A and B are shown apart, each in its own frame.
Chain A
Amino acid sequence: MARSLAGFLVLVLAISICEAASIFQPISDSHRSAALVLFKPVDGSFASLEETYEALRTFEILGIIKKPDVSTAACGTMSKVLSSSSSTPKDLFVALRVNSILKCKINAEVFEGIISRLQAAVSGASSLLDFYYSIGSLGLIKDRTSNTDVHLSDAEGIFRSIKALSQSDGRWRYSSNNPESSTFAAGIALEALARIVSLASSEVDQSMIGTVKNDILKLFDSIEKYDDGAFYFDEKVVNVPEHSGPLSTSSSVVRGLTAFTTVASGSLNLPGDKILGLAKFFLGIGIPGDAKDFFNQIDSLACLESNRVSIPLILSVPSTVVSLAKKENLMVKVNTVLGSKAPPLTVKLVRAYSTSSKDTSIIENKELSFDTERVVYFLDALPDSVDVGSYIFVFKVVLHDFEHKDVYITGTLTHVQIFMTGLIKIGNAEIAVLDNDLGSIETQRKLDLAGENAVSLPANHLQKLRLSFQLTTPRGSAFKPHQAFLKLRHETKVEHIFLVGNSGKKFEITLDFLGLVEKLFYLSGKYDIQLTVGDVVMENSLLSDIGYVELDLPEAPEKAPRPPPQAVDPYSRYGPKAEISHIFRAPEKRPPKELSLTFLGLILFPFIGFLIGLLRLGVNLKNFPTSSVPATFAILFHVGIAAVLLLYVLFWLKLDLFTTLKTLSFLGVFLMFVGHRILSHLASASSKLKSA
């Protein structure tokens, strides 16, 4: 039963997720506090100038006043980089970008030196990044010093050499000998081209700008889409080491696009939904945990907000839960991506429908009122037909000024899922014990499910327990909550959960104990009754202890199933395990040392007896050979035997069987040889003696 219930809940959840239209919230104060956490200087400075720029730019866009002061350290590092002759165009570019925000005091001579170096670098550049950094640096110097010397004499030539790296699909290559084209590079190229146009000493040919605009349109054909309406750019090549991921790629394109449209005259017919989709993509990320991602998100949104093509407006709903009981109004906000004020406009509710019946609209074509004080649009009166439940509201934003229609994009329709919550009336709640065969009521109690209850009912296995109640919505229709369970808990903590079924308004469950004895494990005694009624839209969801029922069940037969062991406290599973104590075999009792030594001495007595016996018998070595050769063999024979015995002792002490056997085989052969010689000599000597 519980499993089917869980399945039902999953289904409901899945439906509500599928139905839910994503809402994108504009940048808010949570981003500002996150920025201060993410960009935290260590000892008054950031790790690198690049990080310094990202932090300062983010603070500038978000309008954070209480930012950490890093200007002293950063200005010092920057002037070192600018005055050093070994700085690359990239170092200069990064330093100048920081300067564009901090506006440090730098000598005019320093700039003079850099300008000539950069101009040489531009004319000698071959790769896209070389162009980007040196032209970017020149542009930043021009912005800062308004020096008229800073210009590109051969702007069209440089423009052409960058344009030569572009591909037919609108993407760019990093250099002429690198065949792989990249979307990220396209963003960089557009930025560089925009700089060239602004730095050119003479007007750049409009036809060339036109072809670049064409490239941008082609690039937007390759844009990718999420289901929630967000658009993004992604790198198609695999081995791009430095810049990867949709966020950095999309943000590069957005930066390039904004820079280019600022300098290029004439309109660019980019589809508005794609620009809005890009804004949704950046907002949909939420608050990134990485400083680089955070900068990319905020910087791109700032570009979108200030671009000349079209500024996206974001419709957001501060609260998607509207309480009918408190007579709340549905509020809608319209802001730019960074959360600033939108131009005069009207928000229209096109239609609203229940998620369960899509075809019948409950509201149609209603204009939302505007609250000038709180800058929100609200739906003042909901029609009576709106009951608790989940609804999809479809909004449309209409701009008042006709001119604004070219500047702002609002998207066509915005779908938002709204939950209408309210107090559900619970009535006719009662609990009763019935006789099984006749169905006559034995005891009956009224319940007040909203308040306290403490019923106590006796029952046996021949009876039934019936619980019933009615649920009605504020508008008087039947209400079916997500959850309606009855739980019986025995004194031994064994729990049983039953699903309460309904027919129309009435919810009723009848527990026939005769059929349940086995499920209840024949456990007699007190069972606590707990009722759970809950739903997303039900403001007075309840988990109420009704009381208890004293059950008298028959004795368990032999083969009855045992109640399952109660789940152990999950936290104890992670506690320390009982220590393992190793048990070793107790050593055998050894005899006292003296006794063993005494017996060792005793062993010597037979040996001494043996020697004495030998003496008494008058043993002699007269038979030992006297001539040198047999005597040598005799000595060698005895030495050989002694050697074998010594080998045995060594085997006992430390050698293993294999070493012993190997040595023994050599000794054995030697012993056989000398033994044979000496013994045959003795034999021949004795036979000679006999025959003589």
Chain B
Amino acid sequence: MARSTSRDAEALFHSLRSAYVATPSSLKIIDLYVGFAVFTAVIQVVYMAVVGSFPFNSFLSGVLSCVGTAVLAVCLRIQVNKENKEFKDLPPERAFADFVLCNLVLHLVIMNFLG
């Protein structure tokens, strides 16, 4: 039973990986970026857990900066993905412009909140 489960999982991973290889490299870059942002946020949360939340606004702005930019990157990925029929008419350049603008606004707020 256990062996079959592990084999199933292995098979599942294989299929996922083979499917992911087919993903366009531009989307892979975005995935990588999201991963980078999320890991940075996690490190900050760990730091907070170790040290304490004293300059709480600084902690919040650091984590929210990472999380916010990750969310925006996910949005960009949705819009850029050609599989999504919903955004078929939307050129990827337009989506990138939105991403840049949103990031600038987000970081203005973050900087204001950083203290």
Contact = CB atoms under 8 A, between A and B. Distances in A.
Contacts of B25: 617-619
Interface in A657-681: 657, 660, 664, 668, 675-676, 679-680
B108 interface: yes
A237 interface: no
Contacts of A607: 36, 40
A267 B86 CA distance: 134
A645 B103 CA distance: 10
Contact of A657 (B39, B43, B44, B112): B112
B111 interface: yes
B81 to A, nearest CB: 15
B40 A606 contact: yes
A679 B94 contact: yes
A477 B8 CA distance: 134
B29 A641 contact: no
A603 B40 contact: yes
Contact of B36 (A609, A644, A675): A609
Contact of A651 (B33, B104, B111): B111
A687 B91 CA distance: 9
Contact of A644 (B52, B92, B104): B104
Nearest to B103: A641
A415 B58 CA distance: 94
Interface of B is mostly: helix
A596 to B, nearest CB: 8
Classify chain B: how many residues form its interface, as a range. 20 to 34
B32 A683 contact: no
Given A664-B108, A679-B97, A683-B93, A610 B32 contact: yes
B47 A610 contact: no
Contacts of B7: none
Contact of B39 (A609, A641, A648, A682): A609
A588 B100 contact: no
Given A641-B100, A664-B108, A595 B51 contact: yes
A675 to B, nearest CB: 6
Interface in A607-645: 607, 609-610, 613-614, 617-619, 641, 644-645
B107 A606 contact: no
A595 to B, nearest CB: 7
A610 B54 contact: no
Given A589-B54, A648-B111, A599 B29 contact: no
Contacts of A603: 40, 43-44
A652 B33 contact: no
B64 to A, nearest CB: 15
B114 interface: yes
A565 interface: no
A617 to B, nearest CB: 5
A660 B108 CA distance: 9
B50 interface: yes
A135 B21 CA distance: 131
A591 B46 CA distance: 14
A657 B47 CA distance: 29
Contact of B94 (A606, A641, A652, A683): A683
Contacts of B96: 679
B45 to A, nearest CB: 11
Nearest to A619: B29
Contacts of A651: 108, 111-112
A376 to B, nearest CB: 95
A649 B111 CA distance: 8
A606 B35 contact: yes
A583 interface: no
B35 A648 contact: no
Nearest to B95: A679
The 10 closest A-B pairs by CB, nearest first: A606-B39, A610-B36, A679-B93, A591-B51, A613-B32, A683-B93, A599-B47, A648-B111, A588-B54, A606-B36
Given A589-B54, A599-B44, 17 more contacts: A590-B54, A591-B51, A606-B40, A607-B40, A609-B35, A609-B39, A613-B32, A617-B25, A617-B28, A618-B25, A652-B111, A664-B108, A675-B97, A676-B97, A683-B91, A683-B93, A687-B91
Interface of B: 25, 28-29, 32-33, 35-37, 39-40, 43-44, 46-47, 50-52, 54, 91-94, 96-97, 100, 104, 107-108, 111-112, 114
Interface of A: 588-591, 595-596, 599, 602-603, 605-607, 609-610, 613-614, 617-619, 641, 644-645, 648-649, 651-652, 657, 660, 664, 668, 675-676, 679-680, 682-683, 686-687
8 contacts: A591-B50, A607-B40, A618-B25, A619-B25, A641-B104, A649-B111, A668-B104, A683-B94
